[in-house]
């Protein structure tokens, strides 16, 4: 039977009132398994009001107590790891082991947030002037919001609310309407962990909910992760409404393969990073750039049998390398890109378009695809495909290989595979991309560093989590203090104070 999902507002499970719903599929069977409510403006306003009411007390809660809630939340998420991973896989389609990775990366941000008493400390200068001390403090902003994509329904909400709430803010999270069950459960677990009602609210919705968040004057800051055109809209609209905004967008992550690279290691890396989660990762490697034709030919020979041998299965099949993609519409979009690639002259070496999983013929499955001889003018190079499609482009030399990711509209991640330290070092310094891997295919920074791409992969100037995250979710106040000392009275001054 089709379930009806809810919102989580002010510490309570709340039914949707708008009368609008979004179909949530089981991508492995193609069936609608649930109806997600799409919040009307008033329902989002209820969540914002709950967050606003909860803010003064939460902001005044000392940082050690806030950290203890985070510790407890981490324990609860760990306790439920198996059931949460299964819930995530059934809505998203990624295999259970990968869902556990998604949740684990979120937990790691919560672990980082447990250090908030230290992270949120200000600075102090004794004797900044005669009898004057100067100190700064990082204060929470107030009501904050996060708008998240379908592809990491555990990690990305935790990137945002984990740090924001630890800093003393209260939060409204608007997860993707395609797989909202996991974020809804995280809301309940945060309450169980001891966060007061209203500190974390989860509202499921679409553009109407997003626009309410972007225009409501009570919301101080908005973090967004999703596709680039929407990210740009969020950034522009949020900023026009006076909010602090960070908006992460799409990607086209290149892997540069130098002639001296170990091609067995490279093919392991490319198969995992290109096809894991059916390529539905913003840090998936989708574009390989080989330096020299010989490298390309040798690599292609290794990759073809491995792409052909990929095991596609249901999200709960423990032996599957990857599962179905998220919706039938997304599947059609990916296959259309493959058709366009062929039409534009790329050579399709492995064709996974007609793959059907026996017994699951209506599931949103496709096999891995491998293209060679892709060129910079092709649509499949210029745009993000977000599916199990790996493309190879042949560059003549190192300079050309560095220029390709540097000039691309996206600048999320990039990797170089080489044994040459000098080439790797020069590449890391020169490439115009935000996150760089050296013989590491998916260089997602750990929680205590910061995640963020460049160019159309991120709008705004502050990254997710790490100390950048603490900066995004707090504002600095600087105090200059002098206590009465009658012996040092120096009369009125009409000149700007300096230290001359
Ligand atoms: P999406 O842009 O369709 O949706 C993201 C969020 O925006 C969802 O919550 C959705 O409800 C909302 N939304 C959708 N259309 C909207 C509209 N017209 N107005 C306002 N809000 C709207 O993205 P998706 O398909 O859920 O996720 C995949 C995309 O996210 C890919 O492009 C991927 O590269 C990107 N992504 C980027 C990162 C990163 O950190 N750079 C991480 C993960 C995913």
Residue 203 and residue 47: Cα distance in Å, rounded? Answer: 7
Contact 117, 63 (CB under 8 A): yes
Contact 134, 84 (CB under 8 A): no
Query: How is the chain split into domains, by residue range?
Result: 3-249+457-479, 253-438
**12 pLDDT exceeds 80?**
yes
Q: Is 438 helix (H, G, I), strand (E, B) or coil?
A: strand
Contact 214, 248 (CB under 8 A): no
Rounded to the nearest angstrom, the distance between the alpha carbon of 261 and the centre of ligand 1 is: 35
CA dihedral angle for residue 111, residue 147, residue 337, residue 334, rounded to 10 degrees? 70
* Residue 248 CB–ligand 1 contact under 6 Å: yes
Strand runs labelled E in 161-319: 170-174, 200-202, 219-225, 244-248, 253-257, 285-291
- DSSP code for 439: S
Give kind and range of the element (H or E) at residue 60: none
Residues 181-237 pLDDT 10s: 999 999 999 999 999 999 999 999 999 999 999 999 999 999 999 999 999 999 999
* CATH class, range 3-249+457-479: alpha beta
Give kind and range of the element (H or E) at residue 25: strand 21-26
* Residue 214 CB–ligand 1 contact under 6 Å: no
* Residue partners of 407: CB distance under 8 A and separation at least 6: 432
pLDDT classification of 490: cutoffs 50, 70, 90: confident
* Residue 226 CB–ligand 1 contact under 6 Å: yes
Catalytic site includes residue 167: no
CA dihedral angle for residue 299, residue 302, residue 305, residue 308, rounded to 10 degrees? -40
* Residue partners of 55: CB distance under 8 A and separation at least 6: 140, 142, 143, 169, 170
pLDDT at position 500? 75
Closest of 67, 77, 237, 73 to residue 145, by C-alpha: 237
Alpha-helical regions (H) of 3-80: 41-59, 63-79
DSSP string over 308-348 = HT--B--TT-TT-SB---S-HHHHHHHHHHHHHHHHTT-EE
Q: Give nearest CA residue, ligand 1 atom 20.
A: 207
- DSSP code for 10: T
* Residue partners of 285: CB distance under 8 A and separation at least 6: 253, 254, 255, 269, 270, 273, 274, 390, 415, 441, 442
Closest of 419, 450, 416 to residue 434, by C-alpha: 450
Q: Classify domain 253-438 at the CATH superfamily level.
A: Aldehyde Dehydrogenase; Chain A, domain 2 (3.40.309.10)
Residues 389-403 pLDDT 10s: 999 999 999 999 999
Mutate to test the pocket of ligand 1, among 230, 450, 456 (most ligand atoms within 8 A of CB): 230
pLDDT at position 494? 85
Q: Which two tokens stand for residue 130?
A: 């005669």
Rounded to the nearest angstrom, the distance between the alpha carbon of 222 and the centre of ligand 1 is: 14
Rounded to the nearest angstrom, the distance between the alpha carbon of 230 and the centre of ligand 1 is: 7
Residues 339-349 pLDDT 10s: 999 999 999 99
**491 pLDDT exceeds 90?**
no
* Residue 153 CB–ligand 1 contact under 6 Å: no
**85 pLDDT exceeds 70?**
yes
Task: Please report where in the chains the tokens 């993609």 appear, as a residue.
Answer: 325
**Ligand 1 atom at shortest distance from the alpha carbon of 211:** 20
**488 pLDDT exceeds 70?**
no
* Residue 209 CB–ligand 1 contact under 6 Å: no
């Amino acid at each position: 039977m089709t379930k009806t999902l809810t919102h989580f507002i002010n510490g309570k499970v709340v039914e949707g009132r708008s009368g609008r719903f979004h179909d949530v599929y089981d991508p492995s069977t193609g069936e609608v398994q649930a109806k997600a409510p799409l919040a009307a403006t008033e329902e989002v306003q209820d969540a914002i009001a709950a967050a606003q009411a909860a803010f003064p007390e939460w902001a005044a809660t000392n940082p050690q107590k806030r950290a203890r809630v985070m510790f407890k939340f981490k324990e609860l998420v760990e306790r439920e790891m198996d059931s949460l991973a299964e819930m995530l896989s059934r809505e998203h389609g990624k295999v259970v082991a990968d869902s556990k990775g998604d949740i684990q990366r979120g937990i790691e941000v919560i672990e980082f947030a447990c250090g908030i008493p230290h992270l949120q400390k200000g600075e102090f200068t004794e004797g900044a002037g005669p009898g004057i001390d100067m100190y700064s403090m990082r204060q929470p902003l107030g009501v904050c919001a996060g708008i998240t994509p379908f592809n990491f329904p555990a990690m990305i909400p935790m990137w945002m609310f984990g740090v924001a709430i630890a800093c003393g803010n209260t939060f409204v999270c608007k997860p993707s309407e395609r797989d909202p069950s996991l974020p809804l459960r995280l809301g309940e677990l945060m309450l169980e962990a001891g966060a007061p009602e209203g500190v974390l609210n989860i509202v499921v919705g679409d553009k109407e909910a997003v626009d309410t968040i972007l225009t409501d004057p009570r919301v101080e800051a908005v973090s967004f992760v999703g596709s680039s055109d929407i990210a740009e809209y969020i950034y522009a609209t949020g900023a026009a409404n006076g909010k602090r905004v960070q908006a992460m967008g799409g990607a086209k992550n290149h892997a540069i393969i130098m002639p001296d690279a170990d091609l067995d290691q490279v093919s392991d890396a490319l198969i995992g990073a290109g096809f894991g989660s059916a390529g539905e990762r913003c840090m998936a490697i989708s574009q390989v750039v080989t330096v020299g034709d010989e490298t390309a030919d040798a690599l292609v020979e290794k990759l073809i049998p491995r792409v052909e041998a990929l095991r596609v299965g249901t999200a709960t099949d423990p032996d599957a390398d990857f599962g179905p993609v998220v919706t039938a519409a997304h599947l059609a979009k990916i296959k259309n890109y493959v058709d366009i690639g062929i039409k534009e002259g790329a050579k399709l070496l492995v064709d996974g378009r007609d793959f059907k999983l026996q017994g699951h013929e209506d599931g949103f499955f496709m096999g891995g695809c491998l293209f060679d001889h892709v060129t910079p003018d092709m649509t499949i190079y210029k745009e993000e495909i977000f599916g199990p499609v790996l493309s190879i482009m042949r560059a003549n030399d190192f300079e050309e290989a560095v220029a390709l990711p540097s000039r691309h509209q996206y600048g999320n991640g990039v990797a170089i595979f080489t044994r040459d330290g000098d080439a790797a070092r020069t590449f890391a310094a020169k490439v115009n991309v935000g996150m760089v891997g050296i013989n590491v295919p998916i260089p997602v920074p750990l929680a205590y560093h910061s995640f963020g791409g460049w160019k159309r992969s991120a709008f705004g100037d502050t990254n997710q989590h790490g100390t950048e995250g603490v900066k995004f979710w707090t504002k600095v106040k600087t105090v200059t203090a002098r206590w009465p000392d009658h012996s040092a009275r120096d009369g009125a001054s009409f000149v700007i104070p300096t230290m001359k």
